[in-house]
Amino acid sequence: MTFLRRMFSSDYRAAVAAEASGNVDLAAERYGLAGEHADAVRMHLARAARAPSRNAELAALRDAMRWAGEDPALQRQAAAALGRALWEAAKAEGIATERDRQRVREASDLLVRGDDHALAGEALEAIGDHLAAANAYSAGGLVERMEAALAKDDDAAGQAREEADAFAGYQTAMRVGRRDEARSELVRAVAATSAAAEYRRLLDQLDTAMLTAGKVELKRRTKPLIVACGAPKLALGRDPLCDLTLRAGGVSRQHAEIEWSGDAFVLRDLDSRNGTSLAGMPLAGRVPLVGSGRFALGDECLLDFECTDGVLVVRAAGGLDRGVALIAARDATRFDLAPVGLGLDLVFQRGRPLLGRGTSRDVTFNDEPLGDIRVQLIRGDRVVAGGEEIDIG
């Protein structure tokens, strides 16, 4: 606008007067109406500097961007100011969601347009986009920063491959029942990424489900519970933490214990209130369980036992727990589950139950056919053998 046209423009005169009085909002509006884009941008930038809140600041800077029009110099000035404000807002409010990351990318794009390549690269590096940061540095001729960002991108790519490989290994190991291996792969995935919350959740979930104490419960849908053990000592009593929990009257919380000693399973009473008897005789001290027979916890809880080739089977003979069975062997000893009515076999290694299909041929493990390999059982697994469903606990 020429000098004379300015003098005869009421909007221009009003804008000058408003600016002189410090009313930058009115000045910005009137400069715009007068067609003075540069002054309108200048006033919107002044509005942003005086804004009472971050939202008001950003609104003023976006107005400056609109009034910059197609003028390259004005665009650079407004873009740099808006980009810096968006980046400061992102840092102040935190970068946690994808929406936050998109705001950082918008800030970076504006900073590049405003020729502030260093700050654009810094913003992109903050969200882990090192390759885009390298491009921003390159556009600004910042060679050392570009090379450093490219090196970080290579490292990040390597970590991403490590993370993906570890998680794939975890999924495979879980599917084929190698739970210790699955846990190791999750630990590797956690180490490979800074955003490990989901892997930590899976790791906690797996740790909770792991069976490592030499005991596994085989819960059949319509038949009594089977407890398989490979621990050196087995506790019997009312306490839910006992290896064989019994609900009959007269049974103490920790009533009796069976221990592998030498070459035999040995029974002893744990100072229970109602005592333990073997073949009708009160138990005194530690007594080996040989062959087959019956012992009682108190007067009401009768338990039949059979010991063959280092494998002990104990079965409740009556009462609330009638039919509940315990089958036990030493750690690292393979034993068939046929004595408790299943065609499967089991071995405990370091307290972990490893299941094999034994004589059964139609076995599925978590809906997958079970082949010749053993699977490490954890809580929540589901086995179907010969049409019989078994939940693992």
pLDDT tens by residue, the chain, 393 residues:
444 455 557 888 889 899 999 999 999 999 988 889 999 999 999 999 999 999 999 999 999 999 998 999 999 999 999 999 999 999 999 998 999 999 999 999 999 999 999 999 999 999 999 999 999 999 999 999 999 999 999 998 999 999 999 999 999 999 999 999 999 999 999 999 877 899 999 999 999 999 999 999 999 988 999 999 999 999 999 999 999 999 999 999 999 999 999 889 999 999 999 999 999 999 989 999 999 999 999 999 999 999 999 999 999 998 889 999 999 999 999 999 999 999 999 999 999 999 999 999 899 999 999 999 999 999 999 999 989 999 999
Q: Which residue among 130, 150, 170 closes a domain?
A: 150
User: Within this chain, do residues 132 and 163 fall inside the same structural domain, yes or no?
Assistant: no
Q: What's the CATH number where 59 sits?
A: 1.25.40
Q: Is residue 20 classed exposed, middle or buried when 0-12, 13-18 and 19+ CB atoms within 10 A define those classes? A: exposed
User: Within this chain, do residues 262 and 309 fall inside the same structural domain, yes or no?
Assistant: yes
User: Within this chain, do residues 137 and 243 fall inside the same structural domain, yes or no?
Assistant: no
User: Within this chain, do residues 236 and 339 fall inside the same structural domain, yes or no?
Assistant: yes
User: pTM of the prediction?
Assistant: 0.72
User: Within this chain, do residues 104 and 223 fall inside the same structural domain, yes or no?
Assistant: no
Q: How far apart are CA 173 and CA 52, in angstroms?
A: 57
The secondary element (H helix, E strand) that includes residue 287 is: strand 286-288
Q: Which domain holds residue 190?
A: 152-209
User: Within this chain, do residues 42 and 165 fall inside the same structural domain, yes or no?
Assistant: no
Q: Which residue among 132, 150, 168 closes a domain?
A: 150
Residue 6, pLDDT score: 52
The arrangement of strands across the sheet holding 352-356 comes to 335-336, 345-349, 352-356, 375-376
**CA-atom Rg of the chain in angstroms:** 38
User: Within this chain, do residues 142 and 115 fall inside the same structural domain, yes or no?
Assistant: yes
Residue 171, pLDDT score: 97
| Under 8 Å between Cβ of 105 and 127 | yes
User: Within this chain, do residues 290 and 256 fall inside the same structural domain, yes or no?
Assistant: yes
C-alpha distances in Å from residue 319, one per residue of 11, 324, 330, 340: 100, 10, 29, 18
Domain total of the chain: 3
What backbone phi and psi angles, to 5 degrees, belong to 315?
-135, 135
Q: Which residue among 209, 232, 257 closes a domain?
A: 209
Using H for helix, E for strand and C for coil, what is the string for 308-367? ECCEEEEEECCHHHCCCEEEECCCCCCEECHHHCCCCEEEEECCEEEEECCCCCCEEECC
User: Within this chain, do residues 180 and 241 fall inside the same structural domain, yes or no?
Assistant: no
User: Within this chain, do residues 204 and 245 fall inside the same structural domain, yes or no?
Assistant: no
Residue 221, pLDDT score: 87
User: Within this chain, do residues 193 and 224 fall inside the same structural domain, yes or no?
Assistant: no
Q: What's the CATH number where 373 sits?
A: 2.60.200.20
User: Within this chain, do residues 270 and 381 fall inside the same structural domain, yes or no?
Assistant: yes
Residue 173, pLDDT score: 97
